[in-house]
Structure 1
Amino acid sequence: MDLIIKTIGMAGLLLLSWAYPAKAQTVEAAYIKVTNERAQKIISQMDIADAETAGKVKGYIAEQYQNLSLIHEQRDEALAQVKEQYEGDKKLKMMDKVEKKSDRALAKLHKKYLSQLNEVLTADQVDQVKDGMTYSVAPRTYKVYQEMVPDLSQDQQEQIWSWLVEAREHAMDAGSSHDKHAWFGKYKGKINNYLSDLGVDLKQAEKDMMERQKASTH
């Protein structure tokens, strides 16, 4: 890596980053095993009658995990090199360039992945895959908001759900459990501000929800 940097410079290195398909890179056998297990766990919770389709979807999911991992690794390596090579504003500028290039690679991969899934699954099944990759945080969080603020209008509920769906799209491409939850945390902050602007006292709403749940168990 150092030899490459000395030969073409950091700018040239960044132009080469993510220039080739992620699957052309090397994925460790141990991680392939992990991604296959993750994919199988998602598939096992879905109702896919055709075994061939189930196998194809499992392959798509496992490959997506592998490709995401490679893009994140390449981004982290490039960021580390930038931090070693530059200081001050130049470092910040180069880091931003790396992040943007990574985001473009993720967006391209995301689009291709969804296209693959949509070819063989229904819209509801695709949502199941998305929830499987993000620990079902979106539907679970939506249910909590509905229980916490039961008098939300239909439009208000739809707005909250649309933000959670948007968070899920980002979380699908995150590289770790922590990063996935961070995306939902960001959008929950937006939702909480939205509810506060509507005049909802969230602390009181949560307290009332707990009281209702407690009363329903007795």
Structure 2
Amino acid sequence: MKSVVAKLFLLSMAIGGLNQWTNAQNLNTTAKEDPGYVKVIQQRVSKIVEPLHLKNQDKAGKVQRVIEQQYFDLNRIDQNKQTALSAVKTGTQAKQAEKAEMARINENATASVDSLHPHFVSRLNKLLNKDQVAEVKDGMTYHTLEVTYGAYTDMLPQLTSKQKKQIMQWLEEAREHAIDGGSSKEKHAWFGKYKGRINNYLSKSGIDMKEAEVAWKKRRDSAGK
């Protein structure tokens, strides 16, 4: 019976992916969300929208709602996933079957998130210019791109233009994934993954990253940073 329940959850998640797409396209589900969670998200999004300095209040409100809805949709996908995983864990099926079912649940959740992403970015692009969209993405990811890029260029002043361009390209990719993260841990994990790629790239170019980090720390300590 529990296995059947889990499978029903899987089906609901597959359908949920389409529902999330619809919400991202047309609806705002604020009235259906937990009031406490809504307040937290509204405050968080206000801090993201404020630096845009949008003079048109109608546009500012639309941007606010688009970003809020993205958070609501991502949270709903995560809640559905956790519920489905819990149903599987409390079931009586064999470990191998349980593992396979949990993998399918995670895959469905990822697919739902992936379906949201282009529509969210598209809605932002219709309301904001390129630099403003980038500012929103930075706000949603704690400005980790800016901080990380600054750290690399400060630590390695000898970087070539080509190397700097590659680092920025990978950090932008990391940010693109990170805006879909449901938690700060998930967001930072994406940057951590790409930092590993960057470090390998720089190491292959002949830079001793460990030595560079030690030297950088000494420079910062001397400067009182």
TM-score by length of 1: 0.89
**Residue of structure 2 equivalent to 1:188:** 195
SS at match of 2:159: coil
Equivalent residue runs for 1:18-37 within 5 Å: 18-20=14-16, 21-22=19-20, 26-37=32-43
Structure 2 counterpart of 1:48, from 49, 54, 58? 54
Give the match's secondary structure for 1:67: helix
Partner SS, residue 19 of structure 1: helix
Q: Of 110, 122, 146, which residue of structure 1 is paired with 2:129? A: 122
Equivalent residue number for residue 158 of structure 1: 165
The residue that corresponds to 2:177 in the other structure is 170
TM-score (norm 2): 0.86
Report the counterpart of residue 86 of structure 2 in structure 1. Answer: 80
Amino acid corresponding to residue 172 of structure 2 in structure 1:
V
**Distance in 2 of aligned mates of 1:67 and 1:59:** 12
1:62 and 2:58 matched = no
Cα distance change on mapping 1:9 and 1:73 into 2, 3 Å: closer
Q: Hey, what does 1:10 align to over in structure 2?
A: 6
Once superposed, what is the RMSD of the aligned Cα atoms? Answer: 2.2
Question: Per-residue deviation at 1:216?
Answer: 5.3
Of 111, 114, 138, the match for 1:107: 114
Report the Cα distance in structure 2 between the residues aligned to 1:196 and 1:66, rounded to whole angstroms.
41
- CA distances 1:100-124 after superposition (whole Å, capped 9, x unpaired): 1111110111111111100010011
Q: Can you give the 5+ residue segments of structure 1 that lack an aligned partner in the other structure?
A: none
1:17 alignment partner, SS class: helix
Cα pair 1:39 1:61 within 8 Å, conserved: yes
Which is bigger in relative contact order (C-alpha 8 A, separation at least 6)? 2
Distance of 2:14 and 2:130 partners within structure 1: 30
Distance apart, 1:12 and its partner CA: 3.8
Shift of 1:96: 1.3
Residue 114 of structure 2 aligns to which amino acid in structure 1? A
Measure, in 2, the Cα distance between the counterparts of 1:14 and 1:174: 21
Give the letter aligned to residue 186 of structure 1.
K
Find the partner of 2:146 among 104, 117, 139.
Answer: 139
Counterpart of 1:138, as a letter, is L
Question: Would you say the 8 A contact 1:18–1:71 is kept in 2?
Answer: no
CA distance in 2, matches of 1:87, 1:158: 50
Say if 1:142 and 1:160, in contact at 8 Å, map to a contact too: yes
Return the alpha-carbon distance in structure 2 between the equivalents of residues 10 and 110 of structure 1: 26
Could you list the runs of 5+ residues in structure 2 that have no partner in the other structure? 24-28
The amino acid of 1:120's aligned partner reads L
Letter in 1 for 2:74: L
Residues 9, 28 of structure 1: alpha-carbon distance in 2 compared, 3 angstrom cutoff: closer
CA deviation profile, 1:128-147 (whole Å, cap 9, x unmatched) = 00010000001110111111
**SS of residue paired to 2:49:** helix
